[in-house]
Structures are given as structure tokens and as C-alpha cells.
Structure 1
Amino acid sequence: MKKISLYKLFLIICTSIVYSSCKDGLFNPGAVVTREIQLSSIIFSVEVNTMLEITLVQDTINKALVTCSENLQSDIDIFVKDNILYLNNSIKYSWSRNYEKVKLELHLIKIPRLDIWKPSYITSRDTIKTHEFFLVDWGKFTELDVTLDVDNCAIDVSVEGFGHYTVKGKSTTATFYCKGSAFFYAEGLQVQNCTVFQNSIGDTYVNVLNKLTVTIQNSGKVYYYGNPSSIILNNNFSNDKLIHLPNN
């Protein structure tokens, strides 16, 4: 009987510990707070390795403002190593915690290359004025909505991707690598010279003033606004996939 009692006591203690941990992990994320992280002045690229809502802000300093539940702040790991900014997290029990998505306001002197590995929502507070905007989506879904004033815009996505990429503003040149089932909405981006590699079942919209080069390798269509003086089309499909739309 004594052994049984000790065993029961052991079970009660273990159950209490597990319950307490689960209760804290599953049901008590805490109040929403914002934490500021100072970053190195030189950043060549950004690695997004966790699900985030990211707002890009062009600034005179590099810093990150992380907004999420206070009990999750320690799980958000943001650091610079070898001039690469890493955005990571180690949040547990995320499947059952009732909390708002982690929001990141990323203040940067220059907008470096963005490498996206996890589903993310990326937007810009104001117009981003820089030499180049370059985003590579290695994952399956990213929702992008940015306004640019750049010399060059380049977006490349995974063959498994099904994200939506909205770009507005103006750019001297633009290159879009459309793959998987991604949709590109760049009709709000006024481009002088644009190159589209269409290998998606989703459609692509562009606005071109001077030269448009299109290679079509999948069923997705390419719609274009503007009246470019030069159009080069490489179409691997028998039917017409390049469609001109009148300006409103």
C-alpha cells in the first residue's frame, strides 16, 4: 500500500507540473507589448525563418520593433550575424495558443535582399526609395504589398509557391519570376523596361512604358497596361497568353 501511495503521489506531482506548464503555454500568452531591438548598421540581407507580419520602414537607423504577447517575446529571436539579419522564433504550442500574430516593424537604412522561408505578410509604411528591391520567396506563401521608388525591382518565388505579390510605385526596370500558382499584381508599378518569366498557373499584371519581354511556360496569363514600344514574346503555348489592357 505504501508503494501505491508513493506512486500515486508521484503521478499527482507530475500531472500538476504538466498541467501548470500546459496552462501557461496554451492559455496564458500575456498582454501585448512592444520590444525594441537595436541592429547593426550594415545589413546585406534578411532571412525570414518564422511567420510574421512585417512592416518595412525606411529610416536613418536599423532597428526592429517586435509586438506580440509578453510571454512570447523571449521566443522571438532577432539578430545580425555576418551582416545577415535573422528573424527566428521558438514558439511552442502555437497550434492552440490564442494570441495575435507576431508583428515586426523593421526600420532599415537600406532595404537589403529579402529571403522568405516561412509564410509572411510584408508591407511598407511609406514609399521605399532605394536602388533595388529584391525579394526571393523560398517558401509556399507570402503576401506582399509594397510601394516602391527604385531603379530595379526583382521578385522570384518558389515552384511550390501560391502567394500574392502586389507592387506599386515606379521602377526603371523590373524582373518577375512567376512560378507555382503565384499571382503578381504589378499594374500599379510604372516600369520602363519589364521582364516576366511566367511559369505559374496564376496570372501576372504589369504596367510597362518602354520594353516588355515575356516568356510563358505555363497556363497563367500575362496582362499588361501601357503602350511599350517593344514587345518580345516567347510563348510555349499555342493560345495567346499575353493580353493588353487599356488604361483607365
Structure 2
Amino acid sequence: MPEVKMETKNLNLWYGEKQALYDITMPIYKNKITALIGPSGCGKSTFLRCLNRLNDLIENVRIEGEVLLDGKNIYDEDVDVYELRKRVGMVFQKPNPFAMSIYDNVAFGPRIHGVKDKKELDKIVKWALKKAALWDEVKDELHKNAFALSGGQQQRLCIARAIAVKPEVLLMDEPTSALDPISTLKIEELMVELAKDYTIVVVTHNMQQASRVSDYTAFFLMGKLIEFGETEQIFLNPQKKETDDYIRGRFG
């Protein structure tokens, strides 16, 4: 089996009185892509946000259980949340570049973490944009406002921004749902390439996408993890009837 990078143990979450996650125990393997699938409102994005404590920003959220990163519970009191989010980056559903230049978007994280040297920043920006398969398209326009880019380019810029601080895990919440098919394909190819260096967890409503890009798939339903396994097994030979129904389009 591959090495476990993160894992959740008996993870429960409540929004006020309403329970949204029930006893989620699952591994996330290093340098693999794990897809989270399931109908809208089943807990996928909530689970994803637990992995870098973004739910901390929401009022009345209560969490029980553990989320381990390299064996350490990220909810322990001595965990520095800023340091955690440097290690576990996030790319959101809609491209959300900052209202600044392409260069400054990518340099933003490294600057916050103390990189001041211009040459070093130049190097990081170039490296991250190359990794995000965007460098060739923007290298002569680095000081152009990021909003001048197309939607697909903006999303790749957000990926470049996320990896500029060299995270170990990359969380992606439906990163292609707002994009056209060509941009979607580029992001999918990019995810496969990035998995050589990063552990990736992606929420997707697109069954074909999950089957194309992921190594492992977790099927969520009504806040519960119904089934987890290698993607091929989940899609070709699911063990649970609910998984089979969902994959075959019988509900969801």
C-alpha cells in the first residue's frame, strides 16, 4: 500500500445543531489523487475544509475526532493554523485571483511567509507558473491584472498561487465546474502531473473526471462515507448498493 499522508479518524462535524459529517474514517495516500464524489449537500466540501481547518472560520461549527497529517492531529491546540495552511493548500470552485498582477498573485504567499528577495521571488513565480502550465501563456504579461485572464487561466493561476508556498497537500473543491471542456482538460492533465509532487484531494460532481484522474475514490452520502477504495474498483465493482446506484445515475 502507498504511504498514508493524511487520515481522518471518527471525524464528526456539526453546524450548530445540525450534524453534517458522521464518523468519517479514511486514509489519504501520499502522491495520489483522491476524488470525493456524491450528491450535492452530502458533506464532500465540508470534509475537504476539515483537512486544513477552513471550517474554523464558520460560526457554531463543532468538530470531534481526528485529522492526522503525518501522524499529528491538526486540531491539537499547539498547531499553528497558518503553518498548517501553508502545508495544506486550497483551490476553490470559482477562480478567485486577487485584484493584483499575475506576478503579485503568485508572489503573495511567499511574501507573507517572509521571502523578500526579488530574485528569489522571480524564481518562485516562474517555477509555480511553469508547474501550473501557465508560464508560456503569461510570461510576457506578468504585470497585467489577473482579471484579464480567461476563466481557465485564472484557475491555473490560483493553482500556481497555491503551490508557490510549496504545500505538501493540495485540496481542490470542484476546480473545473466553472470552466469550459478545453480548460477542464488542461486542469485535469495538470492534476495528474502535480500528483508526482503533491498529495491531491479533489471534490468533483463529474463522474468521468473522477474516473479519469483519481487513484482513489470516496463516495459520500448524507454526511457518511459509504465506500472508499481504488477508483477502478469503486467504478467497476462497487461493494455497496448506494455506490452502484449513484455511479449508474439512479440518484444524485
The bucket for the TM-score relative to the shorter chain is under 0.3
| Higher RCO by CA contacts (8 Å cutoff, separation 6 or greater) | 2
What TM-score, normalized to structure 2?
0.26
Say which structure is richer in helix.
2
Say which structure is richer in strand.
1
Structure whose alpha-carbon radius of gyration is higher: 1
